[in-house]
Amino acid sequence: MSRAVTYITTLLLITLASCMKWEYGLEEDFDMSTSGDGLFICNEGNFQYGNATLSYYDPETKTVQNEVFYRANAMKLGDVCQSMIIRDGIGWVVVNNSHVVFAIDINTFKEVGRITNLTSPRYIHFLSDEKAYITQIWDNRIFIVNPKRYEVTGYIEIPRMTMESGSTEQMVQYGKYLYVNCWSYQNRIIKIDTETDEVVDELIVGIQPTSLVMDCNNKLWTVTDGGYEGSPYGHEAPSLYRIDAETFTIEKQFKFDFGDWPSEVQLNGTKDKIYWLNDDVWEMDVTADRVPVRPFLPYNGTLYYGLTVCPRTGDVYIADAIDYVQQGMVYRYSKDKELLDSFYVGIIPGAFCWK
């Protein structure tokens, strides 16, 4: 009998030696107020794993700080960090599958507030200190919010769009009008009167316009991805479009080859050059009549996923998601195509935001 007790006690001791813990974070103090330029990198993380992160890069010192949101706040950023903008020293970080937009101090990375009650937020655009729009996917509404009170104040219903195929994306303002590209199973740019919060017009482009910017000449640029093979919505060669914001008409269509996957249209600081990804990195004057023959940076085995251009120096930053389950790499090139730096960030670096 005593042997039995010994056996059992030994067994219990083995199990008690366990050391499993779901850890708490520790709040770290940052002060980036002295750094000049700064680049935030939104790392999407893996869908449904809640491992999105925010990185911060100082171009001057060529140093990067990863997971700054977690380190500053001792909590996770969430699931799929989609985009970020800065307004008056506050960074607004849109975390898609966490249904939240965090407001953070851009020097300390500390949270100052959050907007919740969102469906599946993608991008945020400020109209004033007390009014902003947040676009959504899987919702046929754009949410109107009061960023000061962190609350949803209304909705803009998008015509001819169901919840299931709802998709509104990037926003560009021209006067009192706001233009929004509608992407997933969509083919249009919509025009919203920001005074009445109503869709007043729309422009049909190709299948699935993925991004939207406005150049120095008030021309909107969008690029379509053309859908995919077998899609009941259609599959076509993608195109880059130049659209006059005033007349809301297509001025120019630049066609790509069938099967190309262009994405990530970006502008330089002076807004006279556009950049995009299509295996290689491409650059083109906004007044050009045709796409250049040679890319700005040719494909070199890197899976380009994100792109930005420094508004002050013109340096081009490209994100490589590698295999999508490890820390991605960001490459920094000068406008003369010289590799200046490279640094690891978080999983799936997809979007950038300049301080």
Partner 1 sequence: MRRLLIILSILLVPYLAVAQESDTKDWARKGLHIPEVSVYGTRPIKEIGTQQTKFDTLVLKENIALSMADVLTFNSAIFVKNYGRATLSTVAFRGTSPSHTQVSWNGMKINNPMLGMTDFSMIPSYFIDDASLLHGTSSVNETGGGLGGAVKLSTKPANARGFGLQYVQGVGSFKTFDEFLRLTYGDDHWQVSTRAVYSSSPNDYKYRNHDKKVNIYDDDMNIIDQYYPIERNRSGAYKDLHILQEVYYNTGKGDKLGLNAWYINSNRELAMLTVDHGDATDFENRQREHTFRSVLSWDHLRSDWKLGARGGYINTWMAYDYKRDVGNGTMAHMTRSRSRINTFYGQLDGEYYIGNEWLFTANLSLHQHIVESEDKNIVRQDGNKAIVGYRKGRPELSGSISAKWRPVDRFGISMVIREEMFGREWTPIIPALFVDGVVSKRGNIVAKASLSRNYRFPSLNDLYFLPGGNPDLKKESGWTYDAGLSFAVGKEGVYSLTGSANWFESFIKDWIIWLPTPKGFFSPDNIKDVHAYGVELKGDLNVALAPEWQLGLNGTFSWTPSINVGEPRTPADQSVGKQLPYVPELSSTVTGRLTWRTWSFLYKWCYYSERFTMSSNDISLTGKLPPYFMSNISLEKSFAFKWADFSVKGAINNLFNEEYLSVLSRPMPGINFEIFLSITPHFK
Q: How many residues does the chain have?
A: 355
Q: Which of residues 282-301 bind partner 1 (CB under 8 A)?
A: 300-301
Site residues (CB under 8 A) for partner 1, limited to 68-97:
70-71, 73-79, 95, 97
d(CA 304, CA 144): 33
Min CB(83)–partner 1 separation in Å: 13
53, 81 Cβ separation under 8 angstroms: yes
CB of 175 to partner 1, least distance (A): 29
Judged by CB under 8 A, the residue of 42, 172, 243, 348 near partner 1 is 348
Of 107, 108, 119, 218, the one binding partner 1 by CB under 8 A = 119
4 is a contact residue toward partner 1 (CB under 8 A) = yes
The smaller minimum CB distance to partner 1, of residues 208 and 219, is found at 208
Q: Pick from 35, 107, 108, 165: which binds partner 1 (CB under 8 A)?
A: 165
Stretch that binds partner 1, among 213-221, 244-252, 308-316, 323-331 (CB under 8 A): 323-331
d(CA 113, CA 73): 12
Backbone phi, psi, residue 4, to 5°: -60, -45
Confirm or reject binding of residue 326 to partner 1 (CB under 8 A): yes
342 near partner 1, rule: CB under 8 A: yes
For the beta sheet containing 90-95, the strands, ordered from the edge strand earlier in sequence to the opposite edge, are 81-87, 90-95, 100-105, 111-115
HSE, side-chain direction, 13 A CA sphere, residue 78:
19
Residue type, 61: T
CA angle 107, 108, 110 (to 5 degrees): 130
100 binds partner 1 (CB under 8 A): yes
- Which residue type does 32 have? M
Is 98 one of the binding residues for partner 1 (CB under 8 A)?
yes
Contact residue for partner 1 among 39, 124, 267, 277 (CB under 8 A): 277
Three-state SS at 6: helix
Supply the minimum distance, in Å, between the C-beta of residue 270 and partner 1: 27
Neighbours of 179 (CB within 10 A): 23
Question: In the window 170-229, what residues touch partner 1 (CB under 8 A)?
Answer: 183-185, 187, 207-208, 225, 228
Q: Which is nearer to partner 1, 23 or 289 (CB)?
A: 23
Contact residue for partner 1 among 13, 29, 34, 48 (CB under 8 A)? 48
CA angle 87, 167, 121 (to 5 degrees): 40
Alpha-carbon gap, residue 11 to 246, rounded angstroms? 78
- Residue 70 beta carbon to partner 1: minimum distance, rounded to whole angstroms: 5
CA distance 42 to 342: 16
